[in-house]
């Protein structure tokens, strides 16, 4: 188990829980709040981890909710094995096995970035267990729109060099993904799990797994999710940072075509890391929604 430095532990004071898939493959997750309550499941993206939701976790607990916040395999405090499969379908399978293990009957999903594809991948096959969904700066459908900086990191040699050798992807996100700037606590916490070449395998694999053409191994998985999005009929809340360099307004408008009935709140001065730029306002919207 990774020991958190005192400054990060102070900001993220939650018990460590681990779900074992197999030997040396442990998925870390936060599980806080009353066990008898329906759970709010928080799904992060790349290159963050459950630390990204630290403020929301505290607010949800204080409001009496149970909160589950996993670290995807290869991220945060979860195992970072070279041999693990880091495809979209595997991430969905991991989430499904964790939620089955926790025996959750009804859940509210909060999704961000890659958490959208993973969360909706679970949701379209488990609609009877889904109560609500909160969508924030994410996609769960095919798109060829990709920032040049991320496209550059998909080139095989540069992927390894930039993301794993230089840690450029995670470091640049500390400035590019926020419109208002991160606190010292935010910077140190978000970057903490990705301190060496081996620990950046999950970040690199997420970038590799962006499906831009039909021959990509995750293309059909994402296409299947997209086709089933209209089947999701639970209440939805869409919260969007409008200065997102990656998931810009084009992605928001696409969500509106899927879910015209959803409540939409736009934050014109906020970026991709919405829960850093607008934590008080976003958390209040989610609590009111629940």
> In DSSP terms, which residues pair with 110 in a beta bridge?
42, 134
Residues 44-82: pLDDT tens digits? Answer: 999 999 999 999 999 999 999 999 999 999 999 999 999
Domain count for the chain = 1
Residue 212 confidence (pLDDT) = 93
Residue 283: pLDDT over 80: yes
Residues 144-169: pLDDT tens digits? Answer: 999 888 988 898 888 899 999 999 99
Residue 82 confidence (pLDDT) = 93
Sheet containing strand 130-138, edge to edge, reads 17-22, 25-32, 66-70, 39-43, 107-113, 130-138, 236-241, 263-267
Residue 2 confidence (pLDDT) = 74
Residue appearing with tokens 């679970």: 122
Q: Which DSSP state fits 127?
A: G
Instruction: Return the structure tokens found at 284.
Output: 């209040």
Contacts of residue 13, defined as CB under 8 A and 6 or more positions apart, other chains included, come to none
* Contact status, residue 65 vs residue 290, Cβ threshold 8 Å: yes
Instruction: Return the structure tokens found at 246.
Output: 């990656």
**Residue (of 39, 38, 69, 40) closest to 53 by Cα position:** 69
Residue 116: pLDDT over 80: yes
The residue segments making up the domain with residue 254 are: 6-289
- Whole-number Å distance between alpha carbons of 54 and 97: 23
Interval 176-204 mean pLDDT: 97
Q: For residue 112, is it within any domain?
A: yes
| Beta strand 17-22 pairing with 25-32 | antiparallel
Residue appearing with tokens 């995670």: 170
Q: For residue 146, is it within any domain?
A: yes
Q: For residue 1, is it within any domain?
A: no
Q: For residue 203, is it within any domain?
A: yes
For the chain, what is the mean pLDDT?
Answer: 96
Give the confidence band of 128 by pLDDT, cuts at 50, 70, 90: very high
- Whole-number Å distance between alpha carbons of 253 and 267: 14
* Contact status, residue 249 vs residue 258, Cβ threshold 8 Å: no
Give the confidence band of 220 by pLDDT, cuts at 50, 70, 90: very high
Residue 174: pLDDT over 70: yes
Backbone angles phi and psi of 70, in degrees to 5: -80, 155
Measured over the CA atoms of residue 174, residue 283, residue 58 and residue 236, the dihedral's sign is negative
Q: What is the pTM of this model?
A: 0.97
Q: Residue 261's domain is classified under what CATH number? A: 3.40.50.1820
Residue 26: pLDDT over 80: yes
> In DSSP terms, which residues pair with 264 in a beta bridge?
238
Residue 1 confidence (pLDDT) = 62
Measured over the CA atoms of residue 75, residue 77, residue 79 and residue 80, the dihedral's sign is positive
* Contact status, residue 61 vs residue 86, Cβ threshold 8 Å: no
Q: For residue 191, is it within any domain?
A: yes
In a 13 Å sphere around the CA of 269, the CA atoms on its Cβ side amount to 6
- Whole-number Å distance between alpha carbons of 121 and 74: 19
Residue 188: pLDDT over 70: yes
Buried b (16+ CB within 10 A) or exposed e, 107-120: bbbbbbbbbbbbbb
């Amino acid at each position: 188990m990774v020991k958190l430095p005192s400054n990060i532990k102070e900001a993220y004071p939650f018990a460590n829980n681990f779900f074992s898939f197999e030997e040396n493959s442990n998925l870390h997750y936060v599980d806080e709040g009353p066990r008898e309550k329906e759970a709010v499941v928080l799904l992060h993206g790349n290159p963050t981890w459950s630390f990204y939701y630290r403020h929301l976790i505290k607010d949800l607990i204080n409001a009496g909710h149970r909160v589950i916040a996993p670290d995807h395999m290869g991220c945060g405090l979860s195992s970072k094995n070279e041999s693990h499969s880091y495809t979209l379908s595997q991430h969905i399978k991991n989430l499904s096995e964790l939620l089955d293990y926790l025996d959750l009957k009804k859940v509210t999903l909060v999704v961000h970035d890659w958490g959208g594809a993973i969360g909706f991948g679970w949701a379209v096959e488990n609609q009877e267990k889904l109560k609500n969904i909160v969508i924030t700066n994410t996609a769960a459908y095919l798109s060829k729109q990709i920032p040049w900086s991320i496209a550059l990191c998909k080139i095989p040699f540069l992927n390894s060099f930039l993301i794993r050798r230089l840690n450029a992807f995670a470091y640049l996100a500390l400035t590019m993904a926020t419109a208002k700037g991160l606190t010292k606590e935010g910077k140190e916490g978000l970057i903490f799990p990705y301190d060496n070449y081996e620990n950046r395998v999950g970040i690199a694999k997420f970038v590799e797994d962006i499906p831009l053409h039909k021959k990509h191994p995750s293309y059909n998985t994402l296409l299947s999710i997209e086709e089933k999005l209209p089947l999701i009929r639970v209440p939805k809340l869409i919260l969007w940072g409008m200065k997102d360099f990656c998931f810009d307004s084009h992605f928001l408008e696409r969500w509106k075509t899927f879910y015209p009935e959803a409540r939409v709140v736009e934050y014109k001065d906020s970026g991709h890391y919405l829960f850093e730029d607008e934590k008080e306002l976003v958390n209040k919207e989610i609590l009111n929604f629940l």
